[in-house]
Amino acid sequence: MTVRYLILGAGGQLGRAFRQFLEQQGYEVVACGRAEVDVSSPGALRRVFSATRPDVVINCAAYNHVDLAEREWEQALSVNGTAVKNLALLTREHGAVLVHYSTDYVFDGEKGAPYMISDLPRPLSRYGKSKLIGEEFLRALGDRYYLIRTSWVFGPGKENFITKVLAWAGQREELRIVTDQVSCPTYTRDLVEGTLRLLATGRYGVYHLTNTGYCSRYEWARYILERVGWRGRLVPARSADFGLPAPRPHFSALDNSPLPELLNWEMPPWQDATRRFLAELGFAE
């Protein structure tokens, strides 16, 4: 029997990567961006479920504006929290599997070591709180679900840290990048592969899934700029120097255990993932 996938948030980096891969593999895919389905509308969600009868729902829709969420709480909560509650109920009602993505920002960054799935969340920002509320709804109301925390996602189709750094480097001779935010860069193509490998196990639950290893924003920027031959000056900075509204965790790297053992497969290192994406952008080694 052909598996029918419903992708929500199909216009974003991760949604696009899922759509491309699944369609290339010949799966039946219904891909809905915000223009087609506003996930914050219960009626819109119910209509798309009734029309498509999905077997697997991949929720890539999210409110990701970390700083704006400090003053747009209702919007952040609607997309990251309430919509997840409705998806948990609808997938249960329709007998579908739900894949939902959360973030390293549900942690406060004070542990000093990569976070395990058993560690208790303690978000610092309203964005992180909205994502944690979505997690809590899913765990309370969901049936067959994969709750996947990931971090620092990048890939084709949307602005991300790599494309921002390249744009800044094209405009300036000096860049200031923070050293006190450390986490795991994650390439959408690898995240898709890891998710589908996990789906094939039928082992529902909460997981962490990122590229292997971790780095600071500064170290990542330096790696990117070295690969493209930038001749400017990269200056270490602190988060406090920028006066952003939302606090960020200082060390929010995620530990992928037990996935390497469960899947007999490991996500590639973040350096390899970065090189492959730069090659996609036309930067040869």
Clarify whether 127 is annotated catalytic. yes
| β pairing state of 182-183 and 215-216 | antiparallel
Cα dist from 114 to 135, 148, 175, 212, 254, whole Å: 19, 15, 28, 11, 5
Alpha carbons 185 and 74: distance in angstroms, whole number: 28
| Catalytic residue from among 5, 127, 207, 218 | 127
For residue 7, the one-letter residue type is I
Name beta bridge partners: 186.
153
Q: Which two tokens stand for residue 158?
A: 């949307």
Helix (H) or strand (E) holding 233: strand 233-237
Q: How many CA atoms lie within 13 A of 188 on its CB side?
A: 22
* DSSP character at residue 104: G
Specify burial of residue 243 (Cβ count, 10 A radius: 0-12, 13-18, 19+): exposed
Specify burial of residue 115 (Cβ count, 10 A radius: 0-12, 13-18, 19+): buried
Q: Please list the active-site residues.
A: 127
